[in-house]
Structure 1
Amino acid sequence: MIRLLTACLLLVISISSQASTQIGSVAIYSDGSVEKLIEKTTDGSLWQDQRKRIYKRSKYPYLPELSYQKFPDPSQGFSHSIIFGHPERLKPYGDRDVVDFELMKKTSSNSGKKYWQCSYEGKGKFKLGKRRIETEDYSCVRWVFYKEIVPKTKETIRLKYSPKLGLIVDRRHRDSRGEKKRKKLVQVFSPEKATAKRIARTVYTIRNEK
């Protein structure tokens, strides 16, 4: 009886700790992009944007997108697979402050390797509307090897991830030329509130604030 109660308690704790964003929810970002959560999987989630492109994202937020399918031809996209390293060992999922890993990116016409190093930077905060939400903060660097010997930085990423929402809420990107981009979460609509009118009004407001 005690074992059964313990198991039930652990199940409740597990469920309550999962991301609260439901299937059918819509996320809107500072660049005007709109994404809808269409599926949750054991290793991540599937999102569809306003152009009907589908992105598969890992449950480890610092990993690049696992796959991308372009509409209307799903063959026009890419996939990533881990071929070296253990990114799942990075805190708070594991016990390491820094992890190195290698990905293989495949498209319909070619493939190539990507080398990454990601670091856990601790807890943080992010202001979403009138709320301040807790985040897990990460920084990642991707590099290539010049003549297979000397590493050269291709891009750096700093991001804030909300475990409660299951979303990256703030992403800063810098490429090898020093060009910077930032993308922030502006609004999340639950399935019952994600009407075309609300979405269009929010996107209109974002684009006219720039």
Structure 2
Amino acid sequence: MGTTMLRKLTLTTLLVASTQVYAELKPGSVAIYSDGSVEKLVRIEDGWRLWESERKRLYSRSDLPVVPVLHYQKFPDRNQGYRQRVINGQPQLLLPFGEEESMGFDVQRISSSSGESVRRWDCKYVGKGSFTLRKKKLKTEKYECSRFAVKAKQADELKETVRLKYSPSLGLVVDRRSTRANGKKERVKLVRVLNPEKVTAKRIARTVYKLRTSK
């Protein structure tokens, strides 16, 4: 078997294995975050998942944690929003899915309001870590990324730096710290996951209320 074919098979195996690890997160599951946002897992597809926010907005997210939102649709007009796709580079080669410690890739964004643009992402894998979710310690993979605006005949402009903790067992980014070019910092953490049979409006409202009153 050739080296190229063996590499492709290895990557495929790793991606499938990763999906199987967090197969317990079923459609109907709800994720609640430290900023009060709530998202429900609507559908699982090959390589991506569809989430719906409490405001009925839809987010298609890649199974690769460093890849930004693939498709964002507003409510009630689903034609409003944006699409994004990788047009250059191979983020799937980053550890632990592949064998590369760092990877740059370009993302094309087509927005219903602002038109077309290209963003450059430079990401590196920085090792394994952990994250505590409701007294349970989860193993994580850690990444650091920089996002640049790509402009014709100009140097790429740094827009944001991001640090991620990704839980393979959940298939979710559980901790995201970002710093904008203007110095504004933001951190969003996963605070609770509800399985479909545990999801109730009262339980979600109680969790969000506690988050907002504790600030």
TM-score, structure 2 length as denominator?
Answer: 0.88
What does 1:85-104 align with in structure 2 at a 5 Å threshold? 85-104=89-108
Q: Write out per-residue CA displacement over residues 145-174 of structure 1, whole angstroms, 9 at most, x where no aligned residue.
A: 566343321101101010001111000011
Shift of 1:54: 0.3
Shift of 1:108: 2.6
Q: In 2, Cα distance between the equivalents of 1:108 and 1:144?
A: 18
Which residue of structure 2 lines up, in the alignment, with residue 116 of structure 1? Answer: 121
In structure 2, the gaps of 5 or more residues are 1-12
Tell whether the 8 Å contact from 2:118 to 2:150 is kept in structure 1 after alignment: no
Q: In 2, Cα distance between the equivalents of 1:145 and 1:16?
A: 36
Q: Write out per-residue CA displacement over residues 57-89 of structure 1, whole angstroms, 9 at most, x where no aligned residue.
A: 001011100010000001110000111111111
Shift of 1:16: 5.0
Which residue of structure 2 lines up, in the alignment, with residue 155 of structure 1? Answer: 160
Q: In 2, Cα distance between the equivalents of 1:17 and 1:52?
A: 28
Which residue of structure 1 lines up, in the alignment, with residue 61 of structure 2? Answer: 57
Which residue of structure 1 lines up, in the alignment, with residue 4 of structure 2? Answer: none
Q: In 1, Cα distance between the equivalents of 2:105 and 2:51?
A: 24
Q: Which has the larger radius of gyration?
A: 1
Which residue of structure 2 lines up, in the alignment, with residue 78 of structure 1? Answer: 82
2:157 counterpart SS class: strand
What does 1:1-210 align with in structure 2 at a 5 Å threshold? 14=17, 16-109=20-113, 110-145=115-150, 148-210=153-215
Q: State the percentage of identical aligned residues.
A: 48
Q: Write out per-residue CA displacement over residues 101-124 of structure 1, whole angstroms, 9 at most, x where no aligned residue.
A: 101100235101111111111110
TM-score, structure 1 length as denominator?
Answer: 0.90
Tell whether the 8 Å contact from 1:26 to 1:189 is kept in structure 2 after alignment: yes
Which amino acid counterpart does residue 139 of structure 1 have in structure 2? E
In structure 1, the gaps of 5 or more residues are 1-9
Q: CA RMSD in A?
A: 1.7
Q: In 2, Cα distance between the equivalents of 1:178 and 1:196?
A: 37
User: 4+ residue stretches of structure 1 with deviation over 6 A?
Assistant: none
Tell whether the 8 Å contact from 1:20 to 1:166 is kept in structure 2 after alignment: no
Check 1:113–1:61 CA distance in 2 against 1; reply closer, same or farther (3 A cut). same
Q: In 1, Cα distance between the equivalents of 2:47 and 2:161?
A: 24
Moved more, 155-164 or 19-28: 19-28
Say how many residue pairs are matched: 199
Shift of 1:144: 2.7
